[in-house]
């Protein structure tokens, strides 16, 4: 057999042998049922998945990390629950302490799960969508690089009469294993960011861009096109500055709006993992 083909088959077999993410989390929810600090984190993950699977916007997440002092708290709980020297207490400690690093990793991997399962890169919660809808009002909006269209769909639910133009080049659909663009939740027009702006510039009041690809200059190309246009249109950006999203050129050259309106936009857009993305309004 072709060595490359064999490697692909082995990789696929390994992926298939791994217990599905949500199934693992459900099992750990039962295991840590007596530990509210862990239980609440797991329940947040499972509820977010349930809502997304039902086509609904999820709720805001806490930081999905096991607290640094939790192992000490677990030890204290088990000592209080079981008499000293009770084998059942030793067994409970061994089982839970061994599971703890695995739970911590699964919690930290939730964004990877969202990307793989739903093609959702920026975590778009219902409270944030309400803030965004309040910011844009009923004004016409263009969403570029929309992926599966979670932002546009959320805005349409809150403002059914708001004109929203949802666009994406759909290049992601050619990547194996990437769900971005494969399961759109709203109608998406196949346009790259610059082309979309040039087509709709005369009809919109805002442009929304969430999680522009890391290191690619699409965001900078778009910003230049917007600056060269006669219409003064704000660009609402969701991303991690000089981090997991966008290009250095964009972050260097952007002119940032800093006021109470932008602060309100970030009221419910909080980090839940190691990615420090937030909402910016730039020109």
Taking residues 251-277, report their average pLDDT. Answer: 97
Taking residues 174-179, report their average pLDDT. Answer: 52
Q: Which residue did the predictor score with more confidence, 282 or 14?
A: 282
Predicted pLDDT of residue 182: 65
**Which residues does 1 contact at the CB level (< 8 Å), separation at least 6?**
none
Is a pLDDT exceeding 50 seen at residue 23? yes
Nearest by Cα to 90 from 99, 79, 102, 104? 79
Length of the chain: 283
Look at strands 278-282 and 235-239 and give their pairing.
antiparallel
Q: Which residue did the predictor score with more confidence, 170 or 223?
A: 223
Lowest mean pLDDT among 61-75, 163-177, 204-218: 163-177
Taking residues 182-188, report their average pLDDT. Answer: 89
Is a pLDDT exceeding 70 seen at residue 135? yes
Tens-digit pLDDT profile for residues 92-107 = 999 999 999 999 999 9
Lookup: tokens for 88: 């059942």
**Which residues does 62 contact at the CB level (< 8 Å), separation at least 6?**
40, 41, 44, 272
Nearest by Cα to 126 from 166, 163, 153? 153
Q: The pTM is what?
A: 0.89
Alpha-carbon distance of 121 to 114, in angstroms, equals: 7
Taking residues 207-234, report their average pLDDT. Answer: 97
Where in the chain are the domains? 3-108, 126-282
Nearest by Cα to 136 from 219, 201, 208? 208
Is a pLDDT exceeding 70 seen at residue 178? no
Predicted pLDDT of residue 177: 52
Is a pLDDT exceeding 90 seen at residue 12? no
For the domain 126-282, what is the CATH superfamily, name and number? Vaccinia Virus protein VP39 (3.40.50.150)
Report CA dihedral (201, 204, 208, 209) to the nearest 10 degrees.
Answer: -10
Taking residues 47-76, report their average pLDDT. Answer: 97
Predicted pLDDT of residue 173: 54
């Amino acid at each position: 057999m072709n060595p490359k083909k064999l490697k692909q088959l082995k990789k696929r077999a390994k992926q298939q042998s791994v217990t599905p993410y949500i199934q693992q989390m459900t099992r750990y929810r039962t295991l840590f049922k007596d530990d509210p600090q862990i239980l609440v984190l797991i329940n947040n993950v499972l509820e977010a998945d349930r809502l997304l699977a039902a086509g609904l916007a999820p709720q805001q997440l806490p930081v999905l990390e096991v607290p640094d002092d939790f192992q000490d708290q677990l030890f204290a709980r088990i000592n209080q629950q079981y008499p000293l020297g009770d084998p059942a207490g030793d067994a409970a400690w061994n089982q839970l302490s061994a599971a703890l690093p695995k739970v911590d990793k699964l919690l930290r991997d939730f964004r990877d799960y969202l990307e793989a399962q739903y093609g959702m890169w920026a975590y778009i919660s219902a409270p944030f969508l309400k803030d965004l809808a309040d910011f844009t009002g009923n004004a016409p909006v263009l969403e570029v690089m929309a992926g599966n269209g979670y932002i546009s769909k959320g805005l349409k639910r809150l403002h059914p009469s708001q004109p929203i133009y949802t666009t994406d080049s759909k290049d992601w659909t050619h990547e194996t294993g990437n769900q971005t663009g494969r399961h759109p939740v709203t109608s998406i027009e196949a346009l790259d960011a610059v082309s979309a702006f040039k087509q709709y510039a005369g009809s919109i009041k805002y442009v929304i861009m969430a999680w522009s690809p890391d290191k690619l200059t699409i965001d900078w190309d778009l910003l230049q096109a917007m600056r060269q246009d006669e219409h003064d249109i704000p660009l609402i950006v969701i991303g991690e500055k000089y981090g997991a999203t966008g290009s250095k050129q964009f972050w260097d050259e952007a002119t940032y709006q800093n006021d109470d309106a932008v602060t309100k936009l970030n009221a419910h857009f909080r980090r839940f993992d190691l990615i420090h993305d937030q909402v910016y309004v730039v020109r």
